[in-house]
Chains A and B, each alone.
Chain A
Amino acid sequence: MASTPDTKTDSVVQPATGGRYREYFEEMPCYLSVHDREFKIIDGNRRFRRDFGESIGEFCYRVYKGRDEVCPNCPVEATFDDGASHGSEQLLTTRAGRSMPVMVHTTPIKDEHGDVVAVMEMHTDIHEVKRLQDELERTHARLSQLFEEVPCFITVQGPDRVIRHANRKFRETFGIDAVGKTCFDMYKARDEQCLVCPSQATFESGISQHHEEVLIAANGDKLNAMCTTAPLKNAEGEVEAVMEMCVDITEMRELQDQLTSIGLLVGSISHGIKGLLTGLDGGIYMVNSGFEKDKPERVKKGWDMVQRNVGRIRSMVLDILYYAKDRELTVEDVDVAALVAETADQLRKKASDLDIDLEIAVADDVGTFPGDAQAMRAMLLNLLENSLDACRSDRQKDSHTIRFEARRAAPWMVIEVEDNGIGMDRETREKAFSLFFSSKGLKGTGLGLFISNKIVDKHGGDITVDSAPGRGTRFEIRLPLEAKPSVRPEGV
């Protein structure tokens, strides 16, 4: 592409005259080109010629970008206009067709009157810078995606415990407006900093902290979490912020609790079985020795003992099954008068054998309530058997009575089981419904009342106990007459 330099321009500008300056100009490690007012290139250095050819006399926009007209925001044009330097980023295409991002700087070349007669343009190859910049952006995007998507809660907190960043899982769980609020407010619904603050410890020591916390989600759920803090340091090595990462271990804890429960259950069962075996063993001894010594009274006592302990084993197994299988309620309209009568019938013989009166008080109009009749029977039987045990263990009174009452007191169906047995002290009363708590020594698994409570709870009702040592115990069960949504009769 041979072309003749414009003689007029040439005579005015005479760029980089003098051998040494020309040499500098030629060897500059960037593209240098000189442009006239018509955007024609009137000079270029070696590197320019190497990559853009011998293009003197051609339009710069054609040479640099393959365009047919002046580029928008042309820095050369701007320099001609205002006589000042301009700079911008441009994308050039070399003669070989390679795209090249460059930083462009222009500088005016003036004549003796101070008029701009030409503009020198310097293009620095920022290909490498651009590449690093792109990579940085990609890395940044990747990191922020990672931060956002990590399946745990991450916050970055300032020294004032104010959350500066929070990832998606955190925002979804603890509230979308987390940024700007304090960590103790968002994580624990507290008004002030926690007594032990790992974030503060990390600010002070610069050392990562590990701790287990109970967090409160925006919906009120309690979450067990394993939290780790890490210092975020500035260039001077000072802790500028603390990142806190919390992993939700609620399910793991629940599993652990279940395992603990199973462990307790096994211990409790083996404990219970040893007690029942002692009872059976005793019964058998008494039957055998009664026969040997020809003492029918002793035989009868021993046989009762065997029967009683076999019965206990049966109810223990049922309790365990009920505990092991957390079955759903089968809800129907339960006829309370029938329920009370059926349950009482099952206990009547046992009660009369032990010389305990069973008093039934059910109003004629007591009616029905929505519930699971089978679960209710199991629950009431459990309470009644507790009462029998309580009466049998009591030697202070001459006669014992169990009162079994049902009445309607809207919005509740109220069922009461009351005895004048040994009663419970405060500790026993308070722990009565706890899993594996038993006051019966070896005879109890600590399941019965726990399950009774669970059954009543599932019906949307409640169960309360009133008891004093020596006086006796009264259980009051209240069951809603209107079904909760979760206990609607099947098919309704």
Chain B
Amino acid sequence: MTGPRILVVDDDPDIQDYFGFFLEDNGYLVKSAENADVALQMIEDFAPDVVLIDVMMPGRSGLDLLVTLRRHPRWSRTPVAMITGNDKVIEDDCRSYLGAHDNVRCPEAVLAKPVDRDTMLAVLGKLCSA
């Protein structure tokens, strides 16, 4: 398969399955990680075009992973889409959290749960072609 590569980071196995099947059905190549640490291992070999991160995860949060990626010598330019159940919170969190971390760049896109599939495809299409 040669489609664009998406790394899904979500602690919920159901969501991993769902996004995996859905994105593969739409021509993407998908790998899933259940937490930030696994994602950071996977990213090296997988070299995704976009990283899709759930904000709320046990242990290191999605924002924490975002900061790590932004500071990463190799992955700092990789587009990140974050998924959240509360888009207001992520805006506020983002500003204060990222502000406290040398103002790292905000995620390229934010998708609200429950994720609208068409929106998701549109966002990912745009990020992959950028």
Chain A residues in the interface with B (C-beta under 8 A) = 267, 270-272, 274-275, 277-283, 285-286, 289, 298, 301, 305, 308-309, 392-393, 395, 422, 424-425, 428, 439-443, 469
Contacts and interface: CB of A to CB of B under 8 A. Distances in A.
A393 B13 contact: yes
B11 interface: yes
Contacts of A298: 21
B118 interface: no
Contact of A279 (B14, B38, B54, B55): B14
Contacts of A277: 113-114
Interface in B1-29: 11-15, 17-19, 21-22, 25
Interface string B105-130: 00000001111010000000000000
Nearest to B38: A395
22 contacts: A274-B86, A274-B112, A278-B15, A278-B18, A278-B115, A280-B114, A282-B15, A282-B22, A283-B14, A285-B21, A286-B17, A289-B22, A289-B25, A298-B21, A305-B14, A393-B11, A393-B58, A395-B34, A395-B38, A442-B85, A442-B113, A443-B12
A421 B12 CA distance: 14
B117 to A, nearest CB: 7
A289 B56 contact: no
Question: Lowest 3 A-B CB distances belong to which pairs?
Answer: A282-B18, A441-B56, A277-B114
Interface string B25-46: 1000000001000100000000
B104 interface: no
Contacts of B21: 285-286, 289, 298
Interface residues on B, range: 20 to 34
Nearest to A424: B58
B57 interface: yes
A278 B54 CA distance: 12
Interface in B63-107: 85-86
B61 to A, nearest CB: 9
A301 B18 CA distance: 10
Nearest to B54: A441
A442 B59 CA distance: 14
A272 B86 CA distance: 10
Given A274-B85, A278-B115, A281-B114, A305 B56 contact: no
Nearest to A286: B21
A275 B18 contact: no
Given A271-B85, A278-B113, A393 B34 contact: yes
A405 to B, nearest CB: 26
Nearest to A439: B58
Contacts of A281: 18, 114-115
Contacts of B59: 425, 469
Nearest to A312: B14
Nearest to A440: B58
Contacts of A274: 85-86, 112-114
A178 B38 CA distance: 64
Contacts of B25: 289
B60 to A, nearest CB: 10
A282 B113 contact: no
A279 B12 contact: yes
Contacts, number: 84
Interface of B: 11-15, 17-19, 21-22, 25, 34, 38, 54-59, 85-86, 112-115, 117
A277 B18 CA distance: 12
Q: Find the residue from A274, A308, A309, A442 having the highest chain B CB count within 10 A.
A: A442
Nearest to B12: A443
A168 to B, nearest CB: 49
A298 B21 CA distance: 9
Q: Find the residue from B17, B25, B112, B114 having the highest chain A CB count within 10 A.
A: B114
Nearest to A284: B18
A394 to B, nearest CB: 8
Contacts of A308: 14
A395 B16 CA distance: 13
A309 B18 CA distance: 13
A285 B117 contact: yes
Contacts of B13: 392-393
Contacts of B55: 441
B122 to A, nearest CB: 17
A305 B54 CA distance: 18
B17 A275 contact: no
B14 A309 contact: yes
A428 B18 CA distance: 27
Nearest to A438: B56
A469 B21 CA distance: 29
Contacts of A283: 14, 18
A285 B14 CA distance: 12
Nearest to A390: B58
Contact of A285 (B18, B58, B85): B18
A439 B54 CA distance: 13
Given A440-B58, A441-B12, A301 B17 contact: yes
Given A285-B117, A301-B17, A422-B58, A275 B85 contact: yes
